Structure 1
Amino acid sequence: MTDKRPDPTNSKVGRLIQSYDLDGLGAELEQRWTDDEEAESLRALAESFNHELLQAAAMDAGLDLLSGEVESLYDALTDDDVTGGERTRARGRLERAGVGVDQLLSDFVSHQAVHTYLTTFRGASKERRRSDPTERVQRLRGRLAAVSESAIESAGNNGDLEVGSPDVLVDVQVLCTDCGRQYGFDDLVERGGCDCSTDE
């Protein structure tokens, strides 16, 4: 079947993805906007997209930006609260490297442009599917375990914690306050509910 959606490059975001050689970014934006659990706002996606443009322009000019510099330069160029001196320094640094700052600023997109691109040109929708509760909890367990392992590793590297080779296990327990029975989450889902609901 022929895809009848309009050509993405007819949108500002689509044109920029092509001209800045940001293959795959369109699909990433769609996934981040429609994610069931951690959907991002259009404003956050627009800012993230603009960060990508800034980084790509800097790299094309041979300017290798360190972690966090993209965000700080973007804020200096666009934030109304920064001083004139900060904006001038940011612009000067980019211009000395050969970045066309005026063109870059013109290329930055708004959240409305991102919305148009996602809905009109990619056919994305914010309608959420109902995901399996066990699947959702498993994903959250995985995230919590990963964050905990990272925190333990960081504490160990700083000398704040001594531990061998930690393996973080996340166990979710559910307590029924009506009858006092306690279940593991997976067990409760398998049972279809607490036993007290069948005792009545």
Structure 2
Amino acid sequence: MSDGDRVSGACSCKLGRTAGKYGLDGLDERLRERRADGASLRRLETVVNEAVLQAALEGADTDVLRDAASIYRNLTGEDVSAGVRTETEAWLSRVGVDPAELDRDFVSYQTVRSHFRECLGVDTARERSLSVDDAEGTIEWARSRSQGIVGRTIERLDGTDGFHCGSVDVTTVVRVSCADCGGSYPVERFLDRGGCDCETDAQTQ
């Protein structure tokens, strides 16, 4: 059995089970190649999930060709409105793809990392040194997930016990405050400026 086929059979981690469920033979080899080309674990998370989505679409009851990457972005993108996400989920349901099941089958970058280390024996130590770009990706993913959860929870309330709402958009504002220097910034500004003023204050003392 080749490394490319291993994920569909011998590997029992979530990534392996998901790949087997959707028939993603050869995924390990693809991940190895992308990793060797310098792809981050965050990017490989997207590679896996787009492959899962593409396989689900190929098995759906539709002749409409839609770009899996665009659909995935509509489902998970940080800057995508709750309305667009809901419309995308509704379209998936109409063509026979359960969006809730799909969301459960999507993997995180931590799952990808565990798969590399525990199933493929590939060292991911270089991910321990986190870059600003990696941090931005992680924060955007977490914010998108939280916005999606809040939006879907509110929409589920619509029409129950006298609760009503229209097409809602949920926005999450993240601020970073430092108790030492007193600075407070939107997280994007905090990352762009290289942190707070603690080091500058220390140098002037």
Q: TM-score, normalised by structure 2?
A: 0.53
Aligned-pair distance for 1:126?
A: 5.1
Aligned-pair distance for 1:127?
A: 8.3
Partner letter of residue 18 of structure 1? G
**Root-mean-square deviation over aligned CA pairs:** 2.3
Partner residue, 1:11: 13
Change (3 A) 1:120 1:87: same
Change (3 A) 1:64 1:56: farther
Percent sequence identity over matched residues?
A: 37
Partner residue, 1:119: 117
- Distance (whole Å) between structure 2 residues aligned to residue 23 and residue 56 of structure 1: 11
1:107 aligns with 2:109: no
Q: Which has the higher contact order (CA 8 A, sep 6+)?
A: 1
Change (3 A) 1:127 1:102: closer
Segments of 4+ moved more than 4 angstroms = none
Q: TM-score, normalised by structure 1?
A: 0.54
Q: Deviations over 1:62-97 (max 9, x none)?
A: 335646x21121111112321121111111111000
- Distance (whole Å) between structure 1 residues aligned to residue 104 and residue 64 of structure 2: 21
- Distance (whole Å) between structure 2 residues aligned to residue 13 and residue 126 of structure 1: 16
Partner letter of residue 74 of structure 2? A
Partner residue, 2:91: 93
Change (3 A) 1:12 1:78: same
Aligned-pair distance for 1:9?
A: 2.8
Q: Which of 64, 74, 83 does residue 76 from structure 1 map onto?
A: 74
Aligned length: 119
